[in-house]
Chains A and B, each alone.
Chain A
């Protein structure tokens, strides 16, 4: 899972010798079955075609005499750790490939420990996702150390200059120039610069490889000074030393290299997955530690009791609101809709809240108190949950599960499950302050552009009829159509039984980075997620906006382009020296918001369209969200993929959904400005 292929690539280039790229497996073929159940298509009956009847009959006969056998895999339940393990290699592959069940015990999602281990010992070519992540993190850390060092240097120099000035008795004039010359170190810019350097190396290598062997290429990877945009980034000796030590610290691995590593990893199924495989699909058989099969009737109580930590005694009665049961109900519901994870970022995070609507629960005072206690979730809790999931750009779905009254027997599992009812609601925090919501322009500009100045333009001066109205009706979303979306249905891993114990059933390998289609690297990495990226690439490239590469000065998160009309009016305002300010002084009593069509409207799209798609490749997506304003950049890239995840800082969904058609904005300019205090 090379979420950030830019850095996965960095390593071979540093070594000066790019490794042969391993062929990417055909993931479509591997994961062609959504469930570990075989299907056998039967020819359809065409009434007016008697031959079709014969073929149908033939196929029935075939099935009658040699019925295909449904594969049943084995797993064992370990009560000591309350976990379900699959150790058979074939079963692991089958369960993972057909429906993404389980998780490798030593891996992030797909059981890839063996591959990783082999790669570590140099027996295999490609990189695993964990490896890539590790390298990326190491690299980022180096850059951050470097940033800290440069910051420190700047402060020291400035203090020195100030002391010198004080001793000389001269006023401090140099501070401004100091700032200009000593620009701060930006991790993002450094990475970008590095990427540029790699590109250059690539082309150089391609040229030289045609004539000479790889050794004739100078070790460009070790060129430590990377020039980009007139700024020099140097790596300190410490960093350099560490970098190469990581590359060559495997001397003591010589012995290991000889041996074929043994697979020490197994697949761990969540309880919900296990029950679904057993009860829903019949594709799994659970055995206990003595290799005795566990029947379904005792499996459910077992799983229920082991969903607590420490596990409850088996003598406890199962309550209908048992967290495992409610969780399973939700899991089953989503799974029955084909909620299998696909090769994209999960978009929804599901929180399960039991609801006690049945009259039984309000019959006695005792039950009422019990229910009140169970339903006591504070707003504070909600905000915490929402904040967590918003930081991973998911939409919060609260799944209310109606809990039935207790039942005497749990023998009929179907009837029992059918008594639960599910109602899902989507909760999205618009913002703490709605002001950020209304126009995306605002959000973007608040970060970077002097709003007050623009406000004065918009408010203080009367509208100049000669001023061109920016007829940009769009809400800041560039309309890149992404038709590959519908096929992906990334239900979140229905995670969390109770909010307090969010156990995660298989968060499968999902890249976080759909926004940033790192196109240039998509081919390089050997993982399924790049498929998406490649599609993105084709979309983006075929779009009309593919322009020249923008400079780092115009990175989306650094600056926002301002439409020309804004500049014009600012200039005009400067000329007129705030002539209008006095007569309109009180008009600012209310916060003004610029709208599309207003003279102060900032046309963010103008800039995004021209250069930002190009930059997708150069800007590696950031897993740890360390970029200073990383939240503003996803909007530029692929806004339609996760509009909801951006609406925290962008817009009410309503404004997205219900945007009136273009002309209204221009016609209603006067009306628009009115509620914002313009009373002139």
Chain B
């Protein structure tokens, strides 16, 4: 993928064909013509996509199109990749973790970066470092394994092997960097995967999201340490629909119920639930029907992110490109993501695993005027949500899971007949 993207720039006209289906070349040629000819702004005709060829046919025409697009793809892929001299950043591999610059003793304040970091960039250049890496006290940037690997793969970083002792970490002279040995991409994969809990699955999720422009940072659930069981949670979030209100109010309501339905034969044991007496209204009937306890996500307190079962725990926090990020003080993330390797975790999460994962995310109830108005939006938003990246042999599918509280939406309370207000309106306007 990376290759494609980079070479897109260089190969000019040919590159335009790369993105589209190989069989769609006809429109692309014409599209280009149209776009370049489009000098008068008043023209209203728009480029349009034609029909696909669904099967091979014996025409030379089709064969030519195929050959042309293959060539275009080849041209795109064969474009050389290089480091632009302006933003050439040099990193040094530090297999033993962060170290102070040579000649500086580490004092009690430490170096100020995570001990999982393993690549040091003494002279960070370019905007990528705005969201990547952690600065230490000596203005160097330390990279986590996934960050270093991603930057190397992207062509933004030149990682050097440590040569003798730690001298290079000093990030000093050009002479030193010239003498040191560049790390190959293969070597980088070998070195960085497996370090401090970085799996290939996590890396592929990280890099694909990064490439899309999201800022991705590790979350507290990164370590696969066994679940830190919190003491018994007394609130399990399930309703008790059969309980009637206690105290005076409850007695009054019972009295009123009796008054309204004195010959109530309602029995939960043998049915019918609604009884055979007189029903005041449908809301009353629905209340009697509600005997199944359901989970109310709003009543449950937040859970410690570590009180979850790996791999169902949040490993990455994700920020949208529009979110302003300060590396030192990260805002609440836009998304939380858990990464699952389907070859290790072959089954869906059980209720407790999923419940713990969801409860470890903060309550995010549906808000806003639109949510209030549109029921289906409200239901879909849910009360807590998390994204599950299910990686199967390198292919990641992203699932958004949210708690739905159907039980909180008592439709019968704000609605009369099933057709509701919309038809009412309708029938008013269309009287016959």
Asked whether A and B interact, the reply is: yes
| A649 contacts chain B at the CB level, 8 A cutoff | no
| B102 contacts chain A at the CB level, 8 A cutoff | no
Q: Contact at B291–A383, with CB atoms within 8 Å? A: no
Q: Contact at B8–A425, with CB atoms within 8 Å? A: no
How far is A339 from B290 in the complex, measured between Cα atoms in Å?
12
How far is A428 from B377 in the complex, measured between Cα atoms in Å?
13
Most-contacted residue by chain A among B82, B212, B215 (CB, 10 A): B212
The 7 closest A-B pairs by CB, nearest first: A414-B268, A282-B272, A487-B420, A484-B422, A355-B351, A336-B289, A423-B295
Contacts A418-B291, A672-B321 given: A377-B10 contact, CB under 8 Å? no
How far is A281 from B1 in the complex, measured between Cα atoms in Å?
60
Contacts A162-B61, A338-B412, A531-B426 given: A429-B398 contact, CB under 8 Å? yes
How far is A456 from B52 in the complex, measured between Cα atoms in Å?
25
Within the complex, the shortest CB–CB distance from A399 to chain B, in Å, comes to 9
Within the complex, the shortest CB–CB distance from A374 to chain B, in Å, comes to 10
How far is A665 from B321 in the complex, measured between Cα atoms in Å?
10
- With a cutoff of 8 Å between Cβ atoms, the chain A residues found around residue B26 in the complex are 179
Interface residues of A in 641-680 (CB under 8 A from B): 641-644, 652-655, 657-658, 660, 664-665, 668, 671-672, 674-679
- B374, B404, B412: the one contacting A425 at CB < 8 Å is B404
Q: Contact at A559–B404, with CB atoms within 8 Å? A: no
How far is A433 from B416 in the complex, measured between Cα atoms in Å?
43
| A546 contacts chain B at the CB level, 8 A cutoff | no
| A455 contacts chain B at the CB level, 8 A cutoff | yes
Contacts A336-B289, A412-B269, A450-B47 given: A281-B274 contact, CB under 8 Å? yes
Contact with A along B341-376 (1 / 0, CB 8 A): 010001110111011001000000010101101111
- With a cutoff of 8 Å between Cβ atoms, the chain B residues found around residue A433 in the complex are 208, 396
Contacts A158-B59, A450-B32, A679-B87 given: A34-B51 contact, CB under 8 Å? no
Q: Contact at A343–B419, with CB atoms within 8 Å? A: yes
- With a cutoff of 8 Å between Cβ atoms, the chain A residues found around residue B427 in the complex are 26, 28, 531
Most-contacted residue by chain B among A446, A489, A590 (CB, 10 A): A590
Interface residues of A in 578-598 (CB under 8 A from B): 578, 581, 583-593, 595
How far is A633 from B391 in the complex, measured between Cα atoms in Å?
30
Q: Contact at A333–B294, with CB atoms within 8 Å? A: yes
| B409 contacts chain A at the CB level, 8 A cutoff | yes
- With a cutoff of 8 Å between Cβ atoms, the chain B residues found around residue A429 in the complex are 397-399
Q: Contact at B59–A528, with CB atoms within 8 Å? A: no
- A172, A447, A568, A654: the one contacting B335 at CB < 8 Å is A654
Within the complex, the shortest CB–CB distance from B233 to chain A, in Å, comes to 13
- A28, A487, A554, A586: the one contacting B6 at CB < 8 Å is A586
How far is A448 from B30 in the complex, measured between Cα atoms in Å?
12
Q: Interface-forming stretch among A63-71, A130-138, A254-262?
A: A63-71
The total of Cβ contacts below 8 Å across the A-B interface reads 491
- A531, A571, A644: the one contacting B380 at CB < 8 Å is A644
| A304 contacts chain B at the CB level, 8 A cutoff | no
Closest A-chain residue to B354, C-beta based? A425
- B9, B295, B335: the one contacting A584 at CB < 8 Å is B9
Q: Contact at B351–A591, with CB atoms within 8 Å? A: no
- With a cutoff of 8 Å between Cβ atoms, the chain B residues found around residue A31 in the complex are 417-419
- With a cutoff of 8 Å between Cβ atoms, the chain B residues found around residue A402 in the complex are 351
Within the complex, the shortest CB–CB distance from B331 to chain A, in Å, comes to 12
Contacts A155-B57, A162-B61 given: A432-B380 contact, CB under 8 Å? no
How far is A571 from B362 in the complex, measured between Cα atoms in Å?
48
Within the complex, the shortest CB–CB distance from A599 to chain B, in Å, comes to 15
Within the complex, the shortest CB–CB distance from A167 to chain B, in Å, comes to 13
Interface residues of B in 252-304 (CB under 8 A from A): 260, 263, 267-282, 284-286, 289-295
Interface residues of A in 493-524 (CB under 8 A from B): 523
Within the complex, the shortest CB–CB distance from A487 to chain B, in Å, comes to 3
Closest B-chain residue to A355, C-beta based? B351
- With a cutoff of 8 Å between Cβ atoms, the chain B residues found around residue A280 in the complex are 271-274, 289
Within the complex, the shortest CB–CB distance from B17 to chain A, in Å, comes to 8
- With a cutoff of 8 Å between Cβ atoms, the chain B residues found around residue A392 in the complex are none
How far is A583 from B238 in the complex, measured between Cα atoms in Å?
61
- B15, B271, B390, B403: the one contacting A379 at CB < 8 Å is B390
Contacts A426-B380, A591-B212 given: A67-B280 contact, CB under 8 Å? no
| A567 contacts chain B at the CB level, 8 A cutoff | yes
Contacts A422-B295, A531-B422, A535-B426 given: A450-B351 contact, CB under 8 Å? no
Q: Interface-forming stretch among B35-43, B168-176, B190-198?
A: B35-43
Closest A-chain residue to B355, C-beta based? A423
- With a cutoff of 8 Å between Cβ atoms, the chain A residues found around residue B350 in the complex are 355-357, 375
How far is A658 from B242 in the complex, measured between Cα atoms in Å?
37
Contact with A along B397-432 (1 / 0, CB 8 A): 111111111110111101111111111111101101
| B223 contacts chain A at the CB level, 8 A cutoff | no
- With a cutoff of 8 Å between Cβ atoms, the chain B residues found around residue A538 in the complex are 429
Q: Interface-forming stretch among B113-121, B123-131, B307-315?
A: B123-131
Most-contacted residue by chain A among B31, B387, B399, B422 (CB, 10 A): B422
- A35, A413, A607: the one contacting B271 at CB < 8 Å is A413
Within the complex, the shortest CB–CB distance from A346 to chain B, in Å, comes to 10
- With a cutoff of 8 Å between Cβ atoms, the chain A residues found around residue B226 in the complex are none
- With a cutoff of 8 Å between Cβ atoms, the chain B residues found around residue A671 in the complex are 321-322, 324
Contact with B along A364-401 (1 / 0, CB 8 A): 00000000000111110111000000000001010010
- B9, B39, B280: the one contacting A40 at CB < 8 Å is B280
How far is A542 from B282 in the complex, measured between Cα atoms in Å?
35
How far is A382 from B388 in the complex, measured between Cα atoms in Å?
13
Q: Contact at A571–B285, with CB atoms within 8 Å? A: no
How far is A531 from B425 in the complex, measured between Cα atoms in Å?
9
Within the complex, the shortest CB–CB distance from B315 to chain A, in Å, comes to 16
Closest A-chain residue to B38, C-beta based? A567
Contacts A70-B276, A567-B41, A595-B321 given: A488-B19 contact, CB under 8 Å? no
| B224 contacts chain A at the CB level, 8 A cutoff | no
Q: Contact at A562–B322, with CB atoms within 8 Å? A: no
| B248 contacts chain A at the CB level, 8 A cutoff | no
